[in-house]
Amino acid sequence: MKVCVVGAGAIGGLVASGFARAGHEVSLVARGAHLDALRAKGLTFISGERREVFRLRASDDPSEFGAHDTVFICLKTPSIAAMLPRLAPLVARDTVVVPAINGLPWWYFYKEGGKLDGQPVSCLDPAGTLFRALDPRHILGCVVHAAAQVAEPGVVRHTAGREFLIGEPDRAKSARAGRLVDAMNAAGFEARLAGDIRLEIWVKLVGNLSYNPVAALALAHMNDIHGSEPLLALVRAIMEEGMRVAEAYGARIPVTVEERIAIAKKLAGAKISMHQDIERRRPLEVDAIVGAVAELARKAGIATPMTDAIHALIAERAKHLDR
């Protein structure tokens, strides 16, 4: 299988190394110092005591690679709008595109089946340009339960998990989804078909919605949040609001708030993604993780005062990353 990983950073490096190890033809789209290192030294992947180096084609220009069977988009969400139109050379008639991204995806209402079927999420795709840039029939939904980090340019360190949930936007059990899951499992991932990928998106999102902006604003590790009753109360309130919004769109979260918090406590002293982005002065995934939930709450007529407050704060903080 020909696989292109667009955004060959932390999760992209994990995906690329797995497929390369299994013998697939893998291409990487990256930029800057990371790209320079990938070209010069290859992709170094570290997991536990294992250290591997993969010599793979890498470029900042997708048009150099031609059509692929599968394209994984592993970008931070603020980078997607600029990159998506550039992916056309990678996509043939039967190419599968897998956005392995955080938060609510821009394609959320494609074949969703409700009254908003086919509509864009305004804060993610205000003019519908993402739908026009990539025909959504190519998309397979994906939720990632794995963690990795770019330790230095060209070097990706795997820190936890290998679970990938894959599902069709129309909830069908398609042959193409089954083939991808089989290929990923053969490549050492823990992949499975999701009966309703949107439910899985919400299960992850209610955790990101509540923990990420709090961690970023407070510069708090996970154990700092869990050791502070005021911060934990804030997380709990935002999570409760997120679950109500999810349920309004047909996604009933199968765990309670306290059970979801118990899952988060397993991350112990981790520094989660938005906290890392704040420290590294990288664009924050505010719209996908927080703004989209606030938007859907308004559409459904659900009051989310704590989510709205944290959204206002983190959105303003994102404007001042140079401070």
Q: What residues are labeled active site?
A: 204
| DSSP-based three-state secondary structure for 2 | strand
Enumerate the β-bridge partners of residue 250.
Answer: none
Q: How many residues does the chain have?
A: 323
66's torsion region: left (phi>0), alpha (psi -120 to 50) or beta? left
Enumerate the β-bridge partners of residue 96.
Answer: 70
Name the strands in the sheet holding 25-29, side by side, starting at the edge strand that comes first in the sequence.
57-59, 25-29, 2-6, 68-73, 91-99
Q: How far is CA 145 from CA 26, 160, 200, 203, 308, in A?
A: 22, 8, 10, 11, 26
- DSSP string of 131-170, one letter each residue: HHHS-GGGB-EEEEEEEEEEEETTEEEEEEEEEEEEE-TT
Give the pair of three-digit tokens for residue 254.
């199968």
